[in-house]
Amino acid sequence: MIKLFDGDTEAEVGAITDIQLEQLVETLVEETIDEYSWNINGSALASLEGNGADAGLVAMLRRALGTRSSMELRYEPD
């Protein structure tokens, strides 16, 4: 499993599969900060949903974003 972290707080967001990581990489190419990070906001979540990303992944990211307008999301490969 691949661990996701909130880049602002360093809190672990959750663990995702290789397939879910691929969905993030392919859908959020324009939101990429660096090789391992993305800027997540409402439009990024809408893009993921619109492109058929896993519902559990989108829900996890929505919970992590909470009431913020955006957040940095990063991952650490196993």
pLDDT at 3: 96
Task: Report which of 59, 67, 74, 58 is spatially closest to residue 11, judged by C-alpha positions.
Answer: 74
pLDDT tens figures, 5-62? 999 999 999 999 999 999 999 998 877 878 889 999 999 999 999 999 999 999 999 9
pLDDT band at 69 (very low <50, low <70, confident <90, very high): very high
For residue 48, give the nearest of 66, 29, 67 by alpha carbon: 29
Q: What are the structural domain ranges in the chain?
A: 2-76
* Distances, alpha carbon 16 to alpha carbons 21, 56, 65, 67, 69, in Å: 7, 9, 16, 22, 23
Whether the model pTM is above 0.85 = yes
